[in-house]
Amino acid sequence: MSTFVLIWIFCMCVRGVIFTDLCTLSAMAEERRQKQCSVSLPTESMKAMAESVGVGQLQEESCAALSEEVSYRIKEIAQDALKFMHHGKRRKLTTNDIDNALRLKNVEPLYGFQSQEFIPFRFASGGGRELHFYEEKEVDLSDIINTPLPRVPLDVSLKAHWLSIDGVQPSIPENPPPAPKEQQKVESTEPLKIVKPGQEDDGTIQGKTQGATAADGKGKEKGLIRLKPRSTHELSVEQQLYYKEITEACVGSCEAKRAEALQSIATDPGLYQMLPRFSTFISEGVRVNVVQNNLALLIYLMRMVKALMDNPTLYLEKYLHELIPAVVTCIVSKQLCLRPDVDNHWALRDFAARLMAQSCKTFSTTTNNIQSRITKTFTKSWLDEKTQWTTRYGCIAGLSELGPDVIKTLILPRLTIEGARIKGVVEGQVVSNIDKIGADHVQSLLLKHCASVIAKIRPQPDLAEQYRTDYGYLGPMLCSHVMKARTQAALQAQQVNRTTLTITQPRPTLTVSQSGFSGSGGPRTPSIIKVPSSLTLMTPRPGTPSQPSPPATKYIVMATSAGAASTQQVL
């Protein structure tokens, strides 16, 4: 083979390799930090590329020589490309950087790779070869012409905000949350921090520079005393105002405002400082409203809990001791509303049970044992003979939300006993209407949750008689439910196979009609919820800084007329 051809192949290879291995290239640049690169391209690539430009047989030696040369050149180009990345002040290597590096070497850049984020390489193997290739589909021109134009990307714009005012970073949406979630987690799970003696006072109280204090704590690890850091939750005037507005909107009468407020709780990054107040608000609110049987308010408070849990910047572990009792109360309380026969307090129990399950999943650790403690509590009151149907319902709901394993071990064995109890109510004579409704609900709840579990663990032939012997009174009904569940599962499986779509059942959201609402807090006129707006700067001179204000007085939201609230608490 003449040298000319070799050189020509080489050129094609360099271009081709860049073409095909662009994706590995950027990875290479990263990887090389750890792994030392004596990486070079396989000779098969050279062969494949030679074939693609019409050179049939390439000798093994030429391949080896080519692959080394090409690898070296590619590394060179990658190094230059990194230079462009650094000067472009980016962390990501883009195809433009490669283009620029090629231009630097007087090589014509590769046209057509303009994708900024993702390079759509496909992988294929076959015939003992593995290939990465760039799939170029044939495009029908008329399609392109007929499709509407994409929206013009937004133009560059400039926006100013205060990063710091006299050394203190204001908590506005433009700034990151003052305490990132990881830090909150560390604080709550490892509360003891090594602090040098005499350091702790100025270390935490000094509100001047949050960053500096955090750094202080880290820097001063020479001291050997472990102290629990004292965290202060000072609220600025804006934050106090915000807290007031939010809490009023959450329990107020206007549903639209409530939705806005909940949305704000679920998304706002600066709520960390207010978290203790929110949690006290919820726990006090539940305590009072359970006594007053105010279903609507309880629902609102549970929705607040949900919103807090949804907020990605908050870590609630520290405040579970207040939140969990409140939630559990809403699950198992004997009476949650004024007219238990009419009002749908069952939905609240379901909702709260789901919240409970969610917090178990998120926060349960081997040290706090939340899940096992909760399970114990539920089972204990469920086993009690004298337990009311409402509480019984709550216990079962709470347990069954914890997952199929819990259902299998705790609920299924008791189905016979529970069935007998339900039978006693349904077929018995002198029972109150309330008991009857309760038993009905318990029955449908058990059927709903147990059927899917049984469908999974029980072998196929579903015989009503068999079920009756196994599960007693509920047996036949269970049997039909299980059969229904099986057909549904089969249907779903088919669909899954065909479309790879996961079908999620939308969870019912809780809303209460305002008719049954009799607010105890008196008429409220909540004004518009407004997040403290960012201080936008027009003139480049320091504005009046907002002084950190003393902690706000606690808002007592509900009139605490009833004193016997504590007896209702479960935990």
Partner 1 sequence: MAAVQGGPVDAVEEKDIKTEPSNDGCGSNSTNDGRAASASPGSGAPAAGAKPAAAAPEDQQTLLAVLQFLKKNKLTESVDILRREAGLPEDSLDLKGADSSAAGSGGDLGAADASSLLSRVTASSSAVVQAPTKAAGEDQPDVNVVLSAYSQQGDPKLYPVYYNGLKRFIESVLDCHRAELSQVFYPLFVHMYLELVYNNYESEAKAFFEKFRGDQECYYEDDLRILSSLSKREHMRGNETLLDFRTSKFVLRISRDSYQLLKRHLQERQNNQIWNIIQEHLYIDIFDGMPRSKSQIDAMSGSLAGEAKREANKAKVYYGLLKEPEIELPLDDEDEEAENEEGKPKKKKPKKDSVGSKSKKQDPNAPQQTRIPLPELKDSDKLDKIMYMKEATKRIRLGPENLPSICFYSFLNAYQGLTAVDFTDDSSLIAGGFADSTVRVWSVTPKKLRKVKSAADLNLIDKESDDVLERIMDEKTASELKILYGHSGPVYGISFSPDRNYLLSSSEDGTVRLWSLQTFTCLVGYKGHNYPVWDTHFSPHGYYFVSGGHDRVARLWATDHYQPLRIFSGHLADVTCTRFHPNSNYVATGSSDRTIRLWDVLNGSCVRIFTGHKGPIHALAFSPNGKFLASGATDSRVLLWDIGHGLMIGELKGHTDSIYSLRFSRDGEILASGSMDNTVRLWNATKAFDDLETDDFTAATGHVHLQDNSQELLLGTYMSKSTPVINLHFTRRNLLLAAGSYNP
Q: Does 159 bind partner 1 (CB under 8 A)?
A: yes
Q: Does 528 bind partner 1 (CB under 8 A)?
A: no
Angstrom distance (rounded) from CA 331 to CA 353: 6
Angstrom distance (rounded) from CA 392 to CA 379: 10
Name the residue type at position 533. Answer: S
Quote the least distance from Cβ 319 to partner 1, whole Å: 24
Q: Does 45 bind partner 1 (CB under 8 A)?
A: no
Q: Does 500 bind partner 1 (CB under 8 A)?
A: no
Q: Does 152 bind partner 1 (CB under 8 A)?
A: no
Of the chain, the end-to-end C-alpha distance in Å amounts to 86
C-alpha 529: how far from chain center: 25
Q: Does 196 bind partner 1 (CB under 8 A)?
A: no
63 and 35 Cβ atoms separated by less than 8 Å: no
Stretch that binds partner 1, among 6-14, 64-72, 247-255, 559-567 (CB under 8 A): 64-72
Q: Binding-site residue total for partner 1 (CB under 8 A)?
A: 61
Tokens of 275: 């978290």
Q: Which residue of 30, 59, 64, 161 would you call a contact of partner 1, by CB under 8 A?
A: 161
Quote the least distance from Cβ 546 to partner 1, whole Å: 11
Stretch that binds partner 1, among 15-23, 34-42, 368-376, 460-468 (CB under 8 A): 34-42
Phi-psi region of 364 (alpha: psi -120 to 50; beta: other; left: phi over 0): beta
Smaller CB distance to partner 1: residue 76 or 234? 76
Q: Does 509 bind partner 1 (CB under 8 A)?
A: no
In sequence order, the β-bridge partners of residue 168 are 165
Quote the least distance from Cβ 157 to partner 1, whole Å: 5
Stretch that binds partner 1, among 31-39, 276-284, 400-408, 452-460 (CB under 8 A): 31-39
Element (H, E) at 29: helix 22-34
Pattern 94-123, binding to partner 1, x per CB under 8 A? x-x---x---x-----------x-------
Q: Does 233 bind partner 1 (CB under 8 A)?
A: no
Instruction: Classify residue 538 by its DSSP letter.
Output: S
User: Long-range contacts: 356-360, Cβ < 8 Å, 24+?
Assistant: 356/324, 356/327, 356/328, 356/331, 356/398, 356/401, 357/398, 357/401, 357/402, 357/403, 358/309, 359/309, 359/316, 359/320, 359/323, 359/324, 359/327, 360/402
Q: Does 68 bind partner 1 (CB under 8 A)?
A: yes
Q: Does 541 bind partner 1 (CB under 8 A)?
A: yes
Tokens of 250: 């959450």
Name the residue type at position 214. Answer: A
Q: Does 312 bind partner 1 (CB under 8 A)?
A: no
> Which positions lie near partner 1, rule CB under 8 A?
32-33, 36-38, 68-69, 71-72, 75-76, 79, 83-84, 86-92, 94, 96, 100, 104, 116, 153-167, 169, 174-176, 208-209, 211-212, 214-216, 219, 537-543, 545
